[in-house]
Structure 1
Amino acid sequence: MTDRADTTTCPAATFDDLLALRPDVVRCPYGAYAAQRDSDPVSYNEQLGAWIVTRHEDVLDVLRDATRFSNRMASGPSSVSGIAQQILQNADLPERTRQQAARRIELSKSRVLLFSDPPLHKRQRSLVNAAFTPRRVAELDGAVKELTNQLIDNFAADGPTDVVAGFSMPIPMTVIATLLGVPPSHMATFKEWSNAFTRGVGALSHDTNAIIEIFDQVDAFYDYFTEELDRRREHPVDDLLSDLLAARLDGEAPLTLAELLQMLVQFLVAGNETTTNLLTSALWMLAKDPALQESLREDHDKITNFLDEVLRLEPPVQGIWRVAVDEVEVGGTRIPADGLIYLVTGSANRDPSVYSEPDEVDLDTARARHLTFGRGEHSCLGMNLAKMESKAALTVLLERCHSIALADPDEEVTFHRSFVLHGIESLPITFSSPSR
C-alpha cells in the first residue's frame, strides 16, 4: 500500500462550489463528493438542473440499465451542443456563429455511440468494432514506445520539463491523429480542434469571444473531415477513416456522413484529451512518491494495476450523464420521466462501502471495478487503446528515467476549469539521469 491524500485533505466544499469552478475544489473535488455521498447520495441540484448520484451501488445500477436510462444527453448541458442551443437564441452573436451552431445541432440529431441507445447503439458499435481491429491497436504499441523515446530525448537535461506539453499530450494526440490519417503538418490544428470540443464540457458559462472561437474550430473540423472522407471513398488507404467507410454488417446500411463526423468527434476527445489527463495524473502521482516509482520499476507488470488506480483515484472524466426514460427510482429517490441524471463516477470510485482504504493506491489488488470507463452497454470503446498507450509510455519512461520529481513541490497544481473533465494544465517535472 502507498499512502494517498485522503478526502479529508480536500477543501470543505459543496457540490455548488464545484459547479462554480472554485479552483481548489476543481483540483480536489473528493471532499465535496464524500459529503454529498454521506448526506444526500441522490439529490436534485437546481444550478445543474440534474439529479446528482454519488454512491457506487446507485451509479452502477444506472450504468447497467440501458433500457430505463437513455444516453441522449450523454454530454450534459455543458457541452458544444448545449452551447449551440443557446447560440440560436442569442441574436447578438454573429450570423456566421449562428449558422455554425445550427450545423452542429443538425449533425447532433444523428445519435452516435455515446449518445445513442439500443438497438441503434449496437449497430454502430458493431460497425466501429470492425474498424478498431486488435491488429490495428496492437500495431501501435511499438509506435508509442518509439515516440516515447523521442520525447524523453528532448527532456531538459538540467531543469524541469512540462510533461503536459512534452509528454502526456503528444503521445495520445499522435496516436489518434495517426489512426485518423492526419499528417504531422496538421498536428497543431488537430490539437486546436480537440481543445474546442472540450472547452464546452464542464463549464456552465462562456464569454462571447470564447464561443466564436469554439465554433470556428468546430466548423473547421467538420469541413476537414468531410473532405477527407470524400477522398477515402475515391481512394481508400490503410487507416481508420477508410475502415469506417468500408464497415458493413449483413442487412445493415453503412454509416452516414453525419454518423461518421459525430464518431470522429468522440474519437478525437476520448482518444486525445482523456488519455492526456490520465498520463499527466499518473506522472503527478509518481513524482510525489519515489517508493511507488521504484515498485513499478522493479515489476512492470504492476503498471497495469497502477493505471487502474490512477483511473479510479483521479479519473479524467469525473461523471457520466443519463436521462430517465420514465419515472424511476434510484437509491430510494424518485426521479421523474425525462429527468437529467449526473452519475458522479469520481465519487463512486472512492466509495468506502466498495473499496477498503479508498484513498490509497493498491498495486497488489486489481481494482478494475472502478467506473471510469462506464459499465455495460456503453463501456468505453477506446479503453484498451488508452491503457495500451499509457502502459507503453510509462514502461519506457520508468526504464530510462531514474528519478521523477516535482520541480517545485510547494507550487499549487492548476487544473482545467471543468467539473466534468479533470486534467492538469501544466506540470513541471525534473528527470534525474535519463539514460541517453
Structure 2
Amino acid sequence: MPEVLNAKPGDGIAPDSPFARLLSLDPAALRCPFDAYASLREQGPVVWSGRLNAFVVSRYPDIREVLRDPVTFSSRHASGSSSVTALAERIMNNPDFPEDVRGQAERRLRLSRSPVLLNADPPLHQRHRRLVSHAFTPRRIAEMEPLFQRVTDELVDAFAGKGTAELVADFALPLPMTVIATILGVPPELMATFKKWSGAFTRGVGALDLPHGEICELFRSVGEFYDYFTDQLEIRRGAPADDLLTDLLGARVDGEHPLTPDEILQMLVQFLIGGNETTTNLIAGTMLHLLRDPVRLDRVKADPELVPALIEEGLRLEAPTQGMFRTATAGTEIGGHPIPEGAMIYLVFASGNRDACEFADPDMIDLDAPRPHHLAFGRGEHVCLGANLARRESIIAIRTLLARLPGIAASVEVDDLDYHPTFILRGPARLPVTFTA
C-alpha cells in the first residue's frame, strides 16, 4: 500500500485498547467487537491507527458522507493493508519466498492494476456496473429462487434425520458456495477445490499478519483459481454456455468495448467473496441471534413473514463486512477532522450500524420496525451489487431451517463460539445445533 503521510500523526489507538485487540485478532475481541466500536465513537469521529496506516471513521453520519463522495474518497484500495494484493506487495519485497509464490504475487499485482467494481472509481465503476448489473436484477434473482430452494433442501436433507448439525460447515457455507459455483458454471466435482480457492482469498482479508507457510499456500491456491478460470474463459469463447462467464465475455452496453480478461478475473474474485463468504456469515450470524433468544425464535418460526425484517436487523447488527477502506484524493476533512491527500481511511460500517445518533436502541433487534438504511451493503456509488442475491438466499435459508428443524437449539454455549480470524469479515466459525430428527 502507498505511504501516504509525510509526517504521520501520533497513534490514537492505545496498544491495550479494545480496537487494538480486535486488530490483533484476539478471540474475545472477535466474538464481541462492539465495545471496541463504541469506544471509537466516544473517542472522536476520526482516529489515526498506526497499525492500519489509516484514519478510522466510526460514526454513522461521517461514514455516510464519505460513501456519498466517491470522487474525493477513492475505492482504489478498498481492502487496505489487509488484502491479498497487500500480501503480494510484501512477497515481492521479500526474497525468502519461493519463486513460484513470487510469480503468483506478481500476477496478482498485475491483475490489481485493472480495478473493477469494488475498487474502481467513477466513471470506470459505472461502466462495469452497466455491463454486469443485468445478472443481479430483481427479476434475474427471482428466476434463480428455484435454484436457491433446491440447494437449500438438498443440504437440509443430508442432516435432517440426524438430530444434530454444524450449521456453518453443513449448511451456511455450502449453500452460497454451491449457488455461486453453479452461476459460474463450476461442476459439482470441483466443489471442494472451489471451497479451497474461496478460503484462500478470504483468508487474506482482515488479517494483518499471516505465517510464511500460510501465505505460500494461499498464493498457490490463488494461482490455481486464476489458471482454472483463464482456461474456462477460453473454452467459453469457442463454446458459450448458460452461465455468468459467458455473460461476462459477451457483456456490451451502447457499443462499449468488452471487458478485458484481467477485468473478468478480478470480477470473478469479487463475486466469489461477495456471493459466498459474506452470505455464509449473514446466514450463520442471523441464526445465532435467533438461537440466543428462544422467545424471538418461536415468534419468527410462527410467522415466517418476519424473516425479511430479521435479515435486515441481522445485517445491521452483525454486518458480514465490518468495514472497507477509502483513499483521499485531495486534502479534505471528515467530521471536522483534517485528512491529507493520499491518506487511507477505514470506514467501520459495523460501528455506524450501532450508532445511537442514527438508531434508537441500536444494540437491539427490532422486527416490527427494522432499520433498512444500515451500512452493511455500503451506500451510494458502491452499494453492493449482490445485495438482492444475499437477501433472497438468506431468507430462503432461514425459513427452511425453521420449518424443517423442529426444536432447533444451540448445542454449545453460544457466547464461547470462535469467530473467523479477520477484523473485516465477521461470522462464527462453527455453530453446532440440535433438533428433533
Question: What is the TM-score with the length of structure 2 in the denominator?
Answer: 0.94
Alignment deviations for residues 21-55 of structure 1 (CA, whole Å, 9 cap, x no partner): 11100111000110110122211111110000000
- SS of the residue 2:304 aligns to: coil
Find 1:266's aligned residue among 264, 270, 281.
Answer: 270
User: 2:142 maps to which residue?
Assistant: 138
Alignment deviations for residues 315-337 of structure 1 (CA, whole Å, 9 cap, x no partner): 11110110011011101100100
CA offset at residue 297 of structure 1?
A: 2.1
Question: Are residue 169 (structure 1) and residue 178 (structure 2) matched?
Answer: no
Find 1:190's aligned residue among 189, 194, 205.
Answer: 194
Relative to 1, partners in 2 of residues 1:305 and 1:328: Cα closer, same or farther, differing over 3 Å? same
- SS of the residue 1:329 aligns to: strand
C-alpha distance in 2 between matches for 1:102 and 1:124: 24
User: 2:214 maps to which residue?
Assistant: 210
C-alpha distance in 1 between matches for 2:363 and 2:138: 34
Count of paired positions: 422
CA offset at residue 136 of structure 1?
A: 3.5
Contact 1:14/1:36 (CA < 8 Å) preserved in 2? no
Find 2:432's aligned residue among 415, 428, 433.
Answer: 428
Alignment deviations for residues 240-277 of structure 1 (CA, whole Å, 9 cap, x no partner): 11111111012311000000000000000000100001
Alignment deviations for residues 355-378 of structure 1 (CA, whole Å, 9 cap, x no partner): 111111000113111101000000
CA offset at residue 296 of structure 1?
A: 1.4
- What does 1:149-160 align with in structure 2 at a 5 Å threshold? 149-155=153-159, 157=161, 159-160=163-164
Question: Are residue 252 (structure 1) and residue 284 (structure 2) matched?
Answer: no
Relative to 1, partners in 2 of residues 1:19 and 1:178: Cα closer, same or farther, differing over 3 Å? same
- SS of the residue 1:309 aligns to: helix
- Counterpart of 1:36, as a letter, is L
User: 1:9 maps to which residue?
Assistant: none
- SS of the residue 2:345 aligns to: strand
Contact 2:77/2:326 (CA < 8 Å) preserved in 1? yes
CA offset at residue 107 of structure 1?
A: 0.5
User: 2:23 maps to which residue?
Assistant: 19
- SS of the residue 1:301 aligns to: helix
Paired-residue identity, %: 50
- Counterpart of 2:117, as a letter, is L
C-alpha distance in 2 between matches for 1:355 and 1:135: 32
C-alpha distance in 2 between matches for 1:336 and 1:270: 31
User: 1:220 maps to which residue?
Assistant: 224
- Counterpart of 2:424, as a letter, is V
User: 2:396 maps to which residue?
Assistant: 392
User: 2:69 maps to which residue?
Assistant: 65
- Counterpart of 2:268, as a letter, is L
- Counterpart of 2:165, as a letter, is T
Question: Are residue 36 (structure 1) and residue 40 (structure 2) matched?
Answer: yes
- What does 1:236-385 align with in structure 2 at a 5 Å threshold? 236-385=240-389
CA offset at residue 157 of structure 1?
A: 4.1
User: 2:87 maps to which residue?
Assistant: 83
CA offset at residue 76 of structure 1?
A: 0.9
User: 1:109 maps to which residue?
Assistant: 113
CA offset at residue 141 of structure 1?
A: 1.1
Relative to 1, partners in 2 of residues 1:410 and 1:212: Cα closer, same or farther, differing over 3 Å? closer
C-alpha distance in 1 between matches for 2:250 and 2:244: 10
CA offset at residue 402 of structure 1?
A: 2.1
User: 2:6 maps to which residue?
Assistant: none
- SS of the residue 1:417 aligns to: coil
CA offset at residue 304 of structure 1?
A: 0.7
**RMSD after superposition:** 1.4
C-alpha distance in 2 between matches for 1:293 and 1:149: 20
C-alpha distance in 1 between matches for 2:408 and 2:112: 43
Question: Are residue 405 (structure 1) and residue 409 (structure 2) matched?
Answer: yes
Listed as ranges, the gaps of 5+ residues in structure 2 are 1-15
Alignment deviations for residues 125-148 of structure 1 (CA, whole Å, 9 cap, x no partner): 100113335443222212222222
- Counterpart of 2:53, as a letter, is G
- SS of the residue 2:408 aligns to: strand
CA offset at residue 57 of structure 1?
A: 0.4
User: 1:4 maps to which residue?
Assistant: none
Deviates more, 1:193-202 or 1:152-161: 152-161
CA offset at residue 410 of structure 1?
A: 6.4
- Counterpart of 1:406, as a letter, is A
C-alpha distance in 2 between matches for 1:46 and 1:132: 38
Listed as ranges, the gaps of 5+ residues in structure 1 are 1-11
- SS of the residue 1:403 aligns to: coil
C-alpha distance in 1 between matches for 2:75 and 2:157: 44
- SS of the residue 2:48 aligns to: strand
Relative to 1, partners in 2 of residues 1:420 and 1:410: Cα closer, same or farther, differing over 3 Å? closer
C-alpha distance in 2 between matches for 1:67 and 1:105: 24
Alignment deviations for residues 104-160 of structure 1 (CA, whole Å, 9 cap, x no partner): 000100010001000000001100113335443222212222222222222264553
CA offset at residue 170 of structure 1?
A: 1.0
Alignment deviations for residues 140-192 of structure 1 (CA, whole Å, 9 cap, x no partner): 21222222222222226455311001110111001100100001001000000
Deviates more, 1:123-132 or 1:406-415: 406-415
CA offset at residue 292 of structure 1?
A: 1.3
C-alpha distance in 1 between matches for 2:164 and 2:202: 27
Deviates more, 1:146-155 or 1:345-354: 146-155
- SS of the residue 2:326 aligns to: strand
C-alpha distance in 2 between matches for 1:44 and 1:266: 28
C-alpha distance in 2 between matches for 1:158 and 1:128: 42
